[in-house]
Structure 1
Amino acid sequence: MERVEVAVVGGGPAGATAAERAAAHGAETVLFEQGVPREDREGLGPDSTDAAGMLDYWIDIMDFDYAEIPDDVVLQELEGTEFVGPNSAVELTTTGMDASYPKFGYTFHRARMDDWLYERATDAGADLRVGTGVSDLETDLRSSSPKGPTHTLTLSNGDQIEAQYVILADGPQRRITLEALDQFTPPGRSIADALSPPTANHIAYQEYREFPEELFDPDWLKFWWGYMPGETAYPWVFPNDGTVARVGLTMPIGMELDDVDNPASYALLDSSDERLPSGSEYITRLLEHEFGDEYDIESDMPIVEDRGKSTGTETYPISSTRPIDSPVGANIAVAGGAMGTTSAFHEGGYHVAVRTGKIAGRLAATDSLEHYNDLWKRAIGDEILRNVAFADIVADYEPGDWDRAFDIVTDMQGGSGENVLLNRTYGAGIAASKLLVSYKKRKFTYRNGTYVQFDAGDYHY
Structure 2
Amino acid sequence: MERVDVAIVGGGPAGACAAEQAAAHGAETVLFEQGVPREDRVELGPDSTDAAGMLDYWIDIMDFDYREIPDDVIHRELEGTAFIGPESRVELTTTGIDASYPEFGYTFHRARMDDWLHERATDAGADLRIGTAVSDLETDLRASSPNGPTHTLTLSNGDQLEAQYVVLADGPQRRITLDALDQFTAPGRSVSDYLSPPEANHIAYQEYREFPEELFAEFEDWLKFWWGYMPGETAYPWIFPNDGTVARVGLTMPIGMELEDVDNPGSYKLLEPTDDSLPSGSEYISRLLELEYGDEYDVEADIPIVEDRGKSKGTETYPISSTRPIDSPVGANVAVAGGAMGTTSAFHEGGYHVAVRSGKIAGRLAATDSLENYNERWKHAIGDEILRNVAFADIVADYEPDDWDWAFDVVNDMQGNSAENVLISKRYSAGLDATKIVAAYKRRKFKYRDGRYVQLAEDDFFY
Which residue of structure 2 aligns with residue 86 of structure 1? 86
Query: Which residue number in structure 1 is paired with residue 262 of structure 2?
Result: 260
CA distance in 1, matches of 2:306, 2:429: 47
* Contact 2:97/2:425 (<8 A) preserved: no
**C-alpha contact (below 8 Å) 2:344/2:354 kept by paired residues:** yes
Matched with 1:307 is: 309
Shift in Å at residue 418 of structure 1? 4.1
Equivalent residue, structure 1, for 2:423? 422
Is residue 267 of structure 2 the alignment partner of residue 271 of structure 1? no
Residue identity over aligned pairs, in percent, reads 82
Give the SS at the match of 1:215: helix
- Residue aligning to 2:323: 321
Q: Which amino acid aligns with 1:61?
A: I
Contact 1:95 1:421 in 2 (8 A): no
Residue identity in the other structure for 2:332: A
Question: What is the identity, as a one-letter code, of the residue corresponding to 1:186?
Answer: A
Letter in 2 for 1:55: L
Corresponding position: 1:147 with 2:147: yes
After TM superposition, the structure 1 = structure 2 runs for residues 83-232 of structure 1, keeping only pairs within 5 Å, are: 83-216=83-216, 217-232=219-234
1:458 to 452, 457, 460: 460
Q: CA offset at residue 115 of structure 1? A: 0.2
Counterparts of 1:455 and 1:191, CA distance in 2: 11
Note if contact 1:427-1:433 (Cα within 8 Å) is conserved in structure 2.
no
Q: Does 1:392 align with 2:362?
A: no
> Residues 304 and 421 of structure 1: is their aligned pair in 2 closer, same or farther, counting only changes over 3 Å?
farther
Three-state SS of the structure 1 residue aligned to 2:72 is coil
Q: Contact 1:389 / 1:442 at 8 angstroms: preserved in 2?
A: yes
| Contact map agreement 2:15 2:169 (CA 8 A) in 1 | yes
Q: Is the contact between residue 411 and residue 428 of structure 1 (CA under 8 Å) also seen in structure 2?
A: no
Partner of 1:75: 75
Structure 1 residue aligned with 2:435: 433
| Structure-2 separation of matches of 1:367 and 1:25 | 11
In the other structure, the counterpart of 1:247 is 249
Shift of 1:424: 3.1
Task: Extract structure 1 runs of 4+ deviating beyond 2 A.
Answer: 424-428
Per the alignment, residue 40 of structure 2 pairs with 40
Distance 2:75 2:306 in 1: 16
TM-aligned CA deviation for residue 181 of structure 1: 0.3
Q: Summarize deviations over 1:55-103 as a string: whole Å, max 9, x none.
A: 0000000000000000000000000000000000110000000000000
**Counterpart Cα distance in 1 of 2:420 and 2:402:** 22
In the TM superposition, what is the alpha-carbon distance from 1:427 to its structure 2 partner? 2.2
Q: Contact between 1:345 and 1:387, CA under 8 Å: does it hold in 2? A: yes
**Unmatched runs of 5 consecutive residues or more in structure 1:** none
Say if 1:40 and 1:306, in contact at 8 Å, map to a contact too: yes
Matched residue, 1:49: 49
Residue identity matched to 2:139: T
Q: Residue in 2 aligned with 1:374?
A: 376
The answer to whether the 8 A contact 2:343-2:354 is kept is: yes
Q: Cα deviations across residues 298-331 of structure 1 (Å, max 9, x unaligned)? A: 0000000000000000000000000000000000
How far did residue 421 of structure 1 move? 4.6
| Contact 1:78 1:103 survives alignment (8 Å) | yes
Q: What is the TM-score normalised by the length of structure 2?
A: 0.99
- Between the aligned partners of 1:344 and 1:386, the Cα distance in structure 2 is 13
Q: 2: CA distance between counterparts of 1:198 and 1:291?
A: 34
How far apart in 2 are the matches of 1:412 and 1:32? 49
Amino acid of the residue matched to residue 421 of structure 2?
V
Q: In 2, Cα distance between the equivalents of 1:437 and 1:428?
A: 12
Alignment partner, residue 28 of structure 1: 28
* Alignment deviations for residues 22-43 of structure 1 (CA, whole Å, 9 cap, x no partner): 0000000000000000000001
User: Unaligned 5+ residue runs, structure 2?
Assistant: none
The SS at the match of 1:380 is helix
- After superposition, the CA RMSD in angstroms is 0.6
- Amino acid in structure 2 at the alignment position of 1:203: I
* Cα distance, 1:16 vs structure 2: 0.2
